[in-house]
Structure 1
C-alpha cells in the first residue's frame, strides 16, 4: 500500500509544461499564424516505485491553435527506461535499461469550458525482450494510441494549469516502455 501511495504521489508531481495559450473567442479570431503557435513539452519521472520500472521522460512539443476549441500539434519524445522482466518458466529476472526515442501527434478539443478531449498517436523506438526464453533484446518501433481528456484552468492571461488522463489503446505490457496503459500528465502553461 505504501508503494502504491508513493507511486501516486510521484505521478502527481510529474511535471508537464504544455505551452498552449488561453485566448478569449474574439481575440482568437484575429490572431496571426505565429500567434496561434504554442510551444512546451513535459518532463516526468518514476524512480522505481511500483513494479520495478523506472523512467525519465523529456518531451518537447509544438502546437497550433486552430480556433479557441481545437488544437493540433507534434512532439518528440525521449525516455530513459530501466525495467525488470521475468523469463518463464524458470522465473529468472533480468533488467533492460535503454534510451527510448520517437515522435507523437495530438488533437485536443474543448468539450465544455475548461474541459477537453485529447487524442494522440506516437511511435517509440525501444529495446524489447525476445520471446525465446533468453535475456536478449531487440530494438523495435512500438506504437501508442492514446485517448482521454482533462481540464485546463486559466490562471494568467495566456496560461494556466492542466491535468490530462490518457489511456493507451495499443498498450502491450511487454513491448511498451510505459509501466501501465494509463498515463497521467499534470502541467503548468505559460
Structure 2
C-alpha cells in the first residue's frame, strides 16, 4: 500500500516537472541549444561529521534548471556513509527531485522528494542487517545570498526509528553555480 502511494507521488511529480519543462520549450521563441545550458546550475552539498567513534560522510551533487527568476526544478543524487564504532555501519544512496521557489531574491522555499536505499549492518556483538527503501518529502525555507542558501527543511514523511534520519528537521547549506 505504501509503495503504491509513493509510486503515485513520484509519477505525479515527474509529470508535473515534464509538463513545466515542455511548456517552457514550446512557449519560448526559437532559441539555440546554449540557451538551455545558460539556465542550468550545478551544485549540491557535502557533509562531514566526525566524533568519538562516529563518522558520517555525505556527498550530494545536484543540478537545477531555472525556469524563470522565481522557479527552478532539478535532480539530485546522494551517498552517505555512517559508522558508529562497535555498533553499526551504514550506506545510504539514492536520488531526489528538487523544486525551488524564490518569491523574493533573499528567500528560497523548497520541496524535495527523495528516495534512498538504506543498508545497515551491526558490528561486533550487534549482529543484525537491515536493508530498506526510505522515502522523504522535505519542505524547506532558507535565506539566499548569491550562490548559497542556508536554511532548514522538514521531512513530512518522517517516522520514528526508521534508521535513515534521526529527526524530521534538518538544517542545510545549498550551493549552485
Task: Verify the 8 A CA contact 1:148 1:164 in the aligned structure 2.
Answer: yes
CA shift, 1:187, in A, is 4.2
Mapping for residues 37-186 of structure 1, pairs under 5 Å: 37-48=40-51, 54-83=55-84, 95-127=87-119, 135-154=127-146, 160-186=147-173
**Higher relative contact order, structure no. (Cα contacts within 8 Å, ≥ 6 residues apart):** 1
Q: TM-score, normalised by structure 1?
A: 0.65
Task: Verify the 8 A CA contact 1:81 1:99 in the aligned structure 2.
Answer: yes
Greater helix share, structure number: 2
Q: Distance in 1 between matches of 2:60 and 2:76?
A: 7
Task: Verify the 8 A CA contact 2:143 2:149 in the aligned structure 1.
Answer: yes
Task: Verify the 8 A CA contact 1:70 1:109 in the aligned structure 2.
Answer: yes
Residue by residue, what CA displacement relative to the aligned partner does 1:81-136 show, whole Å, maximum 9, x if unpaired? Answer: 1258xxxxxxxxx722022110111111012231011100101111258xxxx842
Partner SS for 1:32: helix
Task: Verify the 8 A CA contact 2:108 2:149 in the aligned structure 1.
Answer: no
Q: Distance in 2 between matches of 1:180 and 1:186?
A: 17
Cα RMSD between the aligned structures? Answer: 2.7
Partner SS for 2:158: coil
Q: Distance in 2 between matches of 1:64 and 1:170?
A: 26
How many residue pairs get aligned? The number is 143
Q: Distance in 1 between matches of 2:43 and 2:111?
A: 17
The unaligned stretches of length 5 or more in structure 1 are 1-28, 85-93, 155-159
Residue by residue, what CA displacement relative to the aligned partner does 1:124-164 show, whole Å, maximum 9, x if unpaired? Answer: 111258xxxx842221111111001111112xxxxx33202
